[in-house]
Amino acid sequence: MAINLSTKIGPLSLERPTILASGILGISLDVFNRIYKAGAGAVVTKSLSKEPWEGYANPTIFSVKGGGWINAVGLSNPGAANFASMIQPNKEVPIIVSLVGSVEDDFDFMIKQFENCKVVAFELNLSCPHVAKVGLEVGDDLDLVNKIIKTVKNATAVPVFAKVGLGSTDYIETVSTAVDAGIDGITAINTMRAMAIDIETQRPILSNKIGGLSGTPIKPIAVRCVYEISSKFEIPILGSGGISTWEDAVEFFLAGASAIQIGSAVGDNWIKIFDEINNGISQYMEKKRYSKIAEMVGLAKGS
Amino acid sequence: MQRDPNYPTICKIEKVIDETPSVRTLIFSDDVLPNVLPGQFAMVWIPGVNELPMSVMISHEQGKAAFTIRKLGEASTGLYNVAVGKYIGIRGPYGNSFDIKEGKLLLVGGGTGLVPLLRLLTFVKPSDDVTVLIGAKTKAEVFFEDMANDILEKNPHRVLVVTEDGSYGEKGLVTDLVEKIITETKFEAVYTCGPELMMYKTVQLSHEKGIFVQASLERMMKCGIGICGSCCIGEDLVCRDGTIFDGDHLLANKEFGHTFRTKAGILDKF
């Protein structure tokens, strides 16, 4: 019997719970189509800004010895308007558009660029750890978070999620503000501020010196955050942070996530990762006799 | 600890060879890169400057690898200027490699695009009949002609040079000579690396004749491992699916020979 892997993240229904995380591979519609065919339930675009950004000079990504990645790509992206015209032909792929900006008007402008595109949700990146004036600095400013979400919710009927990370403000405060402002779901977590120094040349490796740590090292932290958010709020959660196996995915469901996002593991295992994780989830559900994902979401909280 | 291909391994430059007034070869010792397959590349970190993808050049010494670089932008000029005794960091090797056929082979290279082709020459069978075409703007920019002849010393072979200004070899575009040669000789396979419009024409001409053809593509690369998406061409990622692609696959891709992406990911025309 084919297992039904569909899931609901508040108002958004997806056929499969595995989503390509923002920042990974997300700059062309052809690639989105390929990843969707490879098994992803949805794809999140690179974070788009009002104007095109080139990002930082290389090196922008390298691995951590023992597992994980550190990156400071610097939010390179073609800008919301260019990107919207590029995905305009989309018919099939559930695309979640990620946005970054420093004031509410940026978001209003960007949302309007996508009026004629098939977009299933927006994800507000309130947590990029390595670009000034956007990302974490916005997520740390609760007044600004409130204004941005209210503006965005006013500008579109499409579901809106907020991606949070660990900044200088308690992320629970950011989530609380987002929930009060009417957000439809929370993506948790983003990468965490990190760096590595080469001991021969005695320099930081990233051109930006400091970047974001992703992959397996941050998974236990992400599970903890998803668990805390789901314990404190009635809000759908998209779990993200170091998911590389179906067991990881199930752990996030049990912590309270209704869907999961996969990023770094694409670098380690390539795009077959979506199919592998979907298959593993199916087998687990069969073994545990679940007929839908929702039956296991948040189960760990009751124990 | 075992070497992590995705974390920079630091190498000291041991020797620098000037190939032309703007092209240099940097030689260094390494355990892995001397033995890569033809077409594979490394991400090369120039500490304090930048990092860029480089096809791995052959060296004539055991345990040594090389990069051949033309100074052009910030990163390539940075690598060009790395002196003997200074350090670079390497990640990789990454990417796939040429499918090496047997029989009559044609290699078409422009500039530093000759690097993966020279490595390919070290893999040919002694019985293979190999033709190498080298395209350059002018005589001063011709390099690796002697090296190609040396590698192919024991093979039936010819190395032909075409310059745009006619200052050396035949005058014209290397693709004019490709057209002439593949009409005269039935090749088993054509391999090309160099400027994209040169490769596009070479792939088109070969494909029309029904000859197996492969090209090694170049795109803006940041991660080199299929995470950042910068190097996408259609649905393919040059770093992870390439850099070598079959001609028929490329001709079905509307971006090949027409557009590339900028650092911001905006499509631009060649």
- B192-218 burial string, b = 16+ CB within 10 Å, else e? bbbbbebbbbbbbbbbeeebbbbbbbb
* pLDDT score, position A303: 65
Strand partners for A186: A162, A237
- Do the chains contact at B240 and A64, CB–CB below 8 Å? no
The pLDDT confidence band at residue A132, using thresholds 50, 70 and 90, is: confident
Residue B69 and residue B81 in contact, taking contact as beta carbons nearer than 8 Å: no
- Listing DSSP states for A26-84 in one string gives TT-HHHHHHHHHTT-SEEEPPPB-SS-B--PPSP-EEEPTTS-EEE-----B--HHHHH
- Do the chains contact at A58 and B91, CB–CB below 8 Å? no
- Do the chains contact at B229 and A46, CB–CB below 8 Å? yes
Pick the residue from chain A with its C-alpha nearest to B87.
Answer: A201
The pLDDT confidence band at residue A26, using thresholds 50, 70 and 90, is: confident
**pLDDT tens for each residue of A95-107:** 999 999 999 999 9
Residues of B in contact with A86 (CB under 8 A): 267
> Over 60: is that where the pLDDT of A1 sits?
no
Tell me what percent of the residues of chain A surpass a pLDDT of 70. 99
User: Residue B134, class by beta-carbon neighbours within 10 Å (0-12 exposed, 13-18 middle, 19+ buried)?
Assistant: buried
Which residues of A lie closer than 8 Å to B, measured between beta carbons? Answer: 23-28, 30-31, 33-34, 46, 52-55, 57-65, 69, 71, 73, 76-79, 82, 86, 198, 200-201, 203, 205, 207, 263-264, 266-267, 270
> Over 60: is that where the pLDDT of A5 sits?
yes
Backbone angles phi, psi at B207, to 5 degrees: -60, -40
* pLDDT score, position A2: 75
Work out the average pLDDT over A87-92. Answer: 96
Q: Catalytic residue at A128?
A: yes
**Closest partner CB to B226 (pick from A62, A86, A267):** A267
Residues of B in contact with A205 (CB under 8 A): 8, 45, 89
Residue bearing tokens 């500490």? B47
* CB pairs < 8 Å spanning A and B: 129
Tell me what percent of the residues of chain B surpass a pLDDT of 70. 100
* pLDDT score, position B60: 87
- Do the chains contact at A30 and B234, CB–CB below 8 Å? yes
State how far the Cα of B3 lies from the Cα of B33, in Å rounded to an integer: 12
Phi-psi region for residue A75, left (φ > 0), alpha (ψ -120 to 50) or beta?
left
Backbone angles phi, psi at A63, to 5 degrees: -90, 160
**Residues of each domain in chain B carrying CATH 2.40.30.10:** 9-94
- Do the chains contact at B227 and A25, CB–CB below 8 Å? yes
> Over 60: is that where the pLDDT of A28 sits?
yes
Backbone angles phi, psi at B35, to 5 degrees: -110, 20
**pLDDT tens for each residue of A136-191:** 989 999 999 999 999 999 999 999 999 999 989 999 999 999 999 999 999 999 99
Task: Please report, to the nearest 10 degrees, the dihedral formed by the alpha carbons of residues A61, A224, A164, A171 taken in order.
Answer: -120
The pLDDT confidence band at residue B2, using thresholds 50, 70 and 90, is: confident
Pick the residue from chain B with its C-alpha nearest to A65.
Answer: B4
Element (H, E) at A253: helix A246-255
The mean predicted confidence, pLDDT, of chain A is: 96
Q: Which fold is adopted by the domain B9-94?
A: Elongation Factor Tu (Ef-tu); domain 3 (2.40.30)
State how far the Cα of A226 lies from the Cα of A264, in Å rounded to an integer: 18
Domains of chain A: 7-51+74-188+215-302 (3.20.20.70)
Residues of A in contact with B222 (CB under 8 A): 55, 58, 60-61, 73, 76
State how far the Cα of B62 lies from the Cα of B29, in Å rounded to an integer: 9
- Do the chains contact at B264 and A46, CB–CB below 8 Å? no
- Angle between helices A171-180 and A219-232 in degrees, nearest 10: 40
Yes or no: is domain B104-269 CATH 1.10.3720.10? no
Which residues of B lie closer than 8 Å to A, measured between beta carbons? Answer: 1, 4, 6-8, 10, 43, 45, 47-48, 50-52, 74-75, 87, 89, 91, 222-223, 225-230, 232, 234-235, 237, 240, 261-267
Which of A155, A148, A230, A225 is CA-nearest to residue A181? Answer: A148
**Residues of each domain in chain B carrying CATH 3.40.50.80:** 104-269
- Do the chains contact at B230 and A27, CB–CB below 8 Å? yes
> Over 60: is that where the pLDDT of A31 sits?
yes
| Residue A187 identity (one-letter amino acid) | T
State how far the Cα of A94 lies from the Cα of A33, in Å rounded to an integer: 10
* pLDDT score, position A257: 98
Tell me what percent of the residues of chain B surpass a pLDDT of 90. 99
Which of A178, A71, A187 is CA-nearest to residue A129? Answer: A71
**Closest partner CB to B223 (pick from A53, A61, A201):** A61
* pLDDT score, position B207: 97
